[in-house]
C-alpha cells in the first residue's frame, strides 16, 4: 500500500505516467503531478484528488520549483517517479547533435537534477524511494534509436550508482525497463498502423504489447514497503524482450 505517501510523478499527463498516477491514487498516495500539458494535468489532478504543477522537466529551475512546491504542500516527498522522457529516432549517421543533446538533456540530465534535489529532502526526512523509468533498450541494443538507447543505459547506471551511494541513508533507487508499451508515443512511432502494431506485438515473447498499467504496477511495487529490501534493481517489464 502507498497510503498517505507523498508521490511526485513527472510526465504524468499521459501513458505510463497517467497510469501510475491512477494506480497510486487508488492505493492511497497523495499525488504531486507534473508535465507540460497543463490542461490534461489539471484535469487528472482534479479527478484523482492530487495537485498539478506545469513544468518543462529540462529547465534548470524545475527541480527547485518542484521541490519547493512539494514542501509547501506536504512538507516531504516520499516517492519520486522519474517518468518524463523523449524518443528521437536515428542511427549514428542520422542522429544530429541537436537530437543527441535534447535526448540526453531530458532523459538523463533533467532526471539527475530532479533526483539530486529530491534525495536531499529524502535524506533529511529519513528515507524515501525513487523509481526511474528506463527502457529495455537500456539493457539491450536499440535499433535506429542510438541516443535514446544510450540515454536509457545511462539511466540504468545512474540508478545503480545512486542506490549504492544512498542506501545507508534509507533512500532506495530502482528502475523499471519497459518494452513496447501501448501508449500514444508508441502509436505515433507505428503511425497508428494496425498491421505494424500487430507485428510489434507478435515479436514479443508473451505475444502482446505492454499496457501502461503493467508498468505502473511494477512502479507501485518498487515504490512500496513490499520492496523494502530492493534497491539498485533494473526490472524489465517487457514481455520477455530482454531475455532473448
Q: Is residue 177 part of a domain?
A: yes
DSSP 75-117: S--SEEEE-------B-TTT--HHHHHHHHIIIIIHHHHHHHH
The mean predicted confidence, pLDDT, of the chain is 96
Q: What CA–CA distance (Å, rounded) separates 59 from 106?
A: 9
Residue 161 lies in a domain: yes
pLDDT of residue 93: 97
Q: Angle at Cα 154 formed by Cα 91 and Cα 188, nearest 5°?
A: 50
pTM of the model: 0.96
Residue 190 pLDDT greater than 90, yes or no: no
Catalytic residue among 148, 212, 216, 218: 148
Residue 180 lies in a domain: yes
Burial bucket for residue 243 (CB in 10 Å: 0-12, 13-18, 19+): exposed
Query: Does 16 reside within a domain?
Result: yes
The domain that holds 187 is classified in CATH as: 3.40.50.720
CA gyration radius, the chain: 17
The answer to the question of residue 1 being in a domain is no
Indicate the pLDDT class of residue 188, thresholds 50, 70 and 90.
confident
Question: Cα separation of 197 and 195, whole Å?
Answer: 5
Residue 77 has pLDDT above 80, yes or no: yes
Domain for residue 243, yes or no?
A: no
Q: Is residue 19 part of a domain?
A: yes
Inform me whether the pLDDT recorded for 56 exceeds 90: yes
Residue 231 pLDDT: 98
Q: Is 148 a catalytic residue?
A: yes
H or E stretch at 35: strand 30-35
pLDDT at 193 over 90: no
Q: Where would I find the H helices in the chain?
A: 15-26, 38-48, 62-74, 97-104, 110-125, 146-166, 184-189, 194-202, 212-223
pLDDT-derived band at 161 (thresholds 50, 70, 90) equals very high
Range of the domain at 25: 6-237
**Which residue has cell 494506480?**
23
186 within domain boundaries: yes
- The domain total for the chain is 1
Amino acid at each position: 500500500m502507498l497510503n498517505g505517501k507523498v508521490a511526485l510523478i513527472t510526465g504524468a499527463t499521459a501513458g505510463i505516467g497517467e497510469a501510475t498516477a491512477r494506480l497510486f491514487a487508488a492505493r492511497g498516495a497523495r499525488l504531486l503531478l507534473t508535465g507540460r500539458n497543463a490542461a490534461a494535468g489539471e484535469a487528472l489532478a482534479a479527478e484523482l484528488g492530487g495537485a498539478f504543477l506545469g513544468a518543462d522537466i529540462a529547465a534548470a529551475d524545475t527541480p527547485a520549483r518542484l521541490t519547493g512546491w512539494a514542501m509547501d504542500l506536504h512538507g516531504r516527498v516520499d516517492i519520486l517517479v522519474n517518468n518524463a522522457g523523449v524518443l528521437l529516432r536515428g542511427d549514428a549517421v542520422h542522429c544530429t547533435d541537436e537530437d543527441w543533446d535534447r535526448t540526453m538533456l531530458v532523459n538523463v540530465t533533467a532526471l539527475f537534477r530532479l533526483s539530486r534535489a529530491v534525495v536531499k529532502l529524502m535524506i533529511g526526512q529519513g528515507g524515501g524511494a525513487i523509481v526511474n523509468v528506463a527502457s529495455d533498450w537500456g539493457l539491450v541494443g536499440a535499433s535506429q534509436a542510438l541516443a535514446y538507447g544510450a540515454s536509457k543505459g545511462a539511466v540504468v547506471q545512474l540508478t545503480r550508482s545512486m542506490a549504492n551511494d544512498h542506501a545507508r541513508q534509507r533512500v532506495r533507487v530502482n528502475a523499471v525497463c519497459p518494452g513496447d508499451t501501448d501508449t500514444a508515443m508508441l502509436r505515433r512511432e507505428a503511425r497508428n498502423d494496425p498491421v505494424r502494431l500487430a507485428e510489434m506485438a507478435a515479436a514479443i515473447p508473451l505475444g502482446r504489447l505492454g499496457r501502461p498499467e503493467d508498468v505502473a504496477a511494477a512502479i507501485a511495487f518498487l515504490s512500496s514497503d513490499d520492496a523494502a529490501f530492493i534497491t539498485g534493481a533494473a526490472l524489465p517489464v517487457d514481455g520477455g524482450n530482454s531475455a532473448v
